[in-house]
Structure 1
Amino acid sequence: MKKILLPAFFAVATLAASVPATFAQKAEKVEKAITKGTAYKVQPQLSTLGWVAKKVTGQHNGTVQFKEGTVLVQGNQVAGGTFVVDMNTIKVEDLTDANYNGKLVGHLKADDFFGVDKHPTATFVITKVAPIKGAAAEANNANITGNLTIKGITKPVTFPAKVGVKEGLASASGTAVIDRTQFDIRYGSKSFFESIGDKAIDNDFTMSFNVIAKQ
């Protein structure tokens, strides 16, 4: 195995030193893939990302779409990954009135919330996958830790998920609870506006995901 890897690393280093920066960056990614695992490409059309946000008087739910991503696989285990979300695709599913729906979507894209004009994408980079010992066949079998970036602010998050690799497909599904105030999304938060009363919006929102990646 070492006889195979050493020439590969030498080739990557040679390319990185002799070609433009964009190519050097690609070479670095190749080197990382060699050392960390096989790259599976996220399939946005087969993957889903849903959200639920609660407030004193009710809740709203909707979806947002993955733009691209990579899942790193070692053997038959998910070992890492990088995921990019297109924040311009935010949708609200619980409001049937087109006018109210449009207003809420517009507000979510505004600076009060996700500031989509300035920050059109959000990213998540896995830093650790810790198997859950004794997990049932249909239950979450790993705790995922990674760096989540929203509005240009990066914070570590950890959540349970069901992950697996089979026949050239890698999958991950689960629900993550996110504290929006850590990403400077303070609108309607009692933590910052104590007198807001029944107009308060919970600091936490949930993201339910089902990611499919192909080799």
Structure 2
Amino acid sequence: MNKLSIPYFILIIAAFFFGCGGPVREKNKNATPSSLSLHVGNGKYKMIDTKKSVVAWKGSSLNGLNTQTGYVYISKGELLIDNSQPVSGTVEVDMNTIEDKKHGRENKLVNHLKDPDFFEVEKFPFTTMVITNIKPIDGGNKKVKGNLTIKGITHPVTFPAKIVFKDGIVEANGRLVIDRTKWDVRYKSAKFYENLANQTMSDSIEFQMRIVTIRKD
């Protein structure tokens, strides 16, 4: 494929896409088990419902004139509940499930996202978020801190989220914006390439997630 003649998409991975239903998740038969440890503390754990939870992505050129959107799916995860409040947790995203909203998984755009220019999915099939702290702000609004690992590289992140615990179910909606180059996603970044003109991709990546736990006491 020509080194993406598509000057439109960075990958603003809207990975924590809460408030969007998204398409029905298909089981990925090619996924391999990860080494993510899901138990990060003491207390009652609630498993994430991978059929109701979804990660969305949105991408654009630096000038924001061209955008693309799509989805990627959670393979497993759990939240630790203490005194009816989530306090920490883990989320694992299967990068093999990346899809474009309009054209699904089998297209040039998605294939390019999977290659070394972007997420090198064959070598790094999973992205993980280890949530280390959830601090109340007001009402259901929380400040979430954690460690995000992409392509084997880990950095601390902080982002706001709306988290509601009701009838034994946790539902969370949040938004995280990162600098993709910190995770070695350099494609058409002005930090590393000159004279890109209108083909320059924004370094910002936006994660938005919808997380719902399974009702189980």
Q: Same fold (TM over 0.5)?
A: yes
Extract unaligned runs of 5+ from structure 1.
Answer: 1-25
Give the structure 1 partner of residue 151 of structure 2. 151
State how far apart, in whole Å, the 1-side matches of 2:168 and 2:203 are: 39
Give the structure 1 partner of residue 114 of structure 2. 109
- 1:44-82 per-residue CA deviation (whole Å, 9 max, x = no partner) reads 101111111110341111000000001111111110000
The residue matched to 1:182 in structure 2 has which SS?
helix
Give the structure 1 partner of residue 200 of structure 2. 200
State how far apart, in whole Å, the 2-side matches of 1:210 and 1:77 are: 17
Which structure carries more helix by proportion?
A: 1
Give the structure 2 partner of residue 88 of structure 1. 96
1:44 equivalent among 29, 40, 50: 50
Give the structure 2 partner of residue 168 of structure 1. 168
TM-score by length of 1: 0.77
Identity of aligned residues (%): 37
- 1:87-145 per-residue CA deviation (whole Å, 9 max, x = no partner) reads 00000114x5x89x700100000000000000000000001111113x4xxxx610101
Give the structure 2 partner of residue 210 of structure 1. 210
TM-score by length of 2: 0.76
- 1:5-34 per-residue CA deviation (whole Å, 9 max, x = no partner) reads xxxxxxxxxxxxxxxxxxxxx9x94xx65x
The residue matched to 1:108 in structure 2 has which SS?
helix
Compute the RMSD of aligned alpha carbons.
Answer: 2.1
**Is the 1:78–1:164 contact (alpha carbons within 8 Å) kept by the matching residues of 2?**
no
Q: Where in structure 2 are the equivalents of 1:2-151 lying within 5 Å?
A: 29=39, 33=41, 35=42, 37-55=43-61, 56=63, 57-94=65-102, 96=103, 102-133=107-138, 135=139, 141-151=141-151
The residue matched to 1:46 in structure 2 has which SS?
coil
**Is the 1:86–1:122 contact (alpha carbons within 8 Å) kept by the matching residues of 2?**
yes
State how far apart, in whole Å, the 2-side matches of 1:46 and 1:115 are: 26
Question: Which 4+ stretches in 1 moved above 6 angstroms?
Answer: none
Give the structure 2 partner of residue 22 of structure 1. none
State how far apart, in whole Å, the 2-side matches of 1:44 and 1:196 are: 39
Shift of 1:197: 0.8
Shift of 1:165: 1.5
State how far apart, in whole Å, the 1-side matches of 2:194 and 2:67 are: 20
